[in-house]
Structure 1
C-alpha cells in the first residue's frame, strides 16, 4: 500500500507532511505504515483517497 501512496504523492507533488496536515492522519501513523509496523484502516485510506482525488483502489 505504501508504495502506491508514495507514487501518487510523487506524481501529484505532495509531501507526506501535507497529507498529514490536511487529513488529520498523524505523521507517526504514516511512518508506521511505511515501515510495516502497522496497516492502515479503511477509514484512513478513504480520507487519503479523497484528499488525493483518486479511487480507493489506487492505494490498494
Structure 2
C-alpha cells in the first residue's frame, strides 16, 4: 500500500529526469543549479524519493509536469 505524499521510485525518477535533461541539452549539475535544489540531490533520486517541492522545481526547469516525470 502506498503512503499518501510518498512518491513511487519503482519507475526510476532519476532515469526520467536524466533523459529529459539530455533532451534539453543540460547536465544534471546545471539542472540542480537552475532548479535551486542542492548539489547531488537529483543523483540521490536513484535510491531516495524526491520531495514534491524538489520534483516540482526540476519539472519547471525541464518544461514538463510532475506527472510526466512520474509516468
Q: TM-score, normalised by structure 1?
A: 0.83
| Counterpart pick for 2:14 among 2, 17, 22 | 2
Q: Please say if 1:16 is aligned against 2:63.
A: no
Q: How many residues align?
A: 58
**How far apart are the structure 2 equivalents of 1:30 and 1:49?**
12
Asked whether the equivalents of residues 4 and 59 of structure 1 are also in contact (C-alpha less than 8 Å), the reply is: yes
| Runs (5+) with no aligned partner, structure 2 | 1-12
**How far apart are the structure 1 equivalents of 2:57 and 2:24?**
16
Deviations 1:17-44 (A, max 9, x none): 111111111122122113x1x2101111
Higher helix share: 1
Q: TM-score, normalised by structure 2?
A: 0.72
| Runs ≥4 residues deviating over 4 A | none
Q: Please say if 1:53 is aligned against 2:66.
A: no
CA RMSD of aligned residues (A): 1.1
